[in-house]
Amino acid sequence: MSFQDMAFEPKPVQKPHLPVWIGGDADAALKRAARFASGWWPFLTPPEKIAERVEFIKGQPTYDGRPFELMHGLGTTRVGEGHRIVKDRGAHRGSSAQEIIDRLNWLAEQGVTFSAVPVPAARGADEYLDYASG
**Nearest partner of 44 among 24, 19, 21, judged by Cα:** 24
Residue 16 within any structural domain of the chain: no
pLDDT in tens, the chain (134 residues): 788 888 888 877 777 778 899 999 999 999 999 999 999 998 888 899 999 999 999 999 999 999 999 999 876 544 444 555 556 665 555 667 788 889 899 999 999 999 887 766 677 888 777 776 66
The whole-number pLDDT of residue 91 equals 56
Q: What is the largest CA-CA distance in the chain?
A: 61
Q: Does residue 80 fall inside a structural domain? A: yes
Closest among 68, 43, 74 to 56, alpha carbons compared:
68
Residue 56: give its domain's CATH number: 3.20.20
**Total number of domains constituting the chain:** 1
The reply to whether 54 falls in a domain is: yes
Task: Determine, yes or no, domain membership for 3.
Answer: no
* Domain presence at residue 7: no
129 is a domain residue: yes
pLDDT of 59: 97
Give strand pairing partners of 70.
40
Residue 116, pLDDT score = 83
Q: Which of 121, 63, 69, 72 is nearest to 92 (CA)?
A: 121
Q: Is residue 81 part of a domain?
A: yes
- The whole domain housing 95 covers 21-133
Element (H, E) at 113: none
State how far the Cα of 117 lies from the Cα of 119, in Å rounded to an integer: 6
Residue 53 lies in a domain: yes
Q: Where are the beta strands (DSSP E) in 2-127?
A: 21-23, 39-41, 69-70
d(CA 47, CA 35): 23
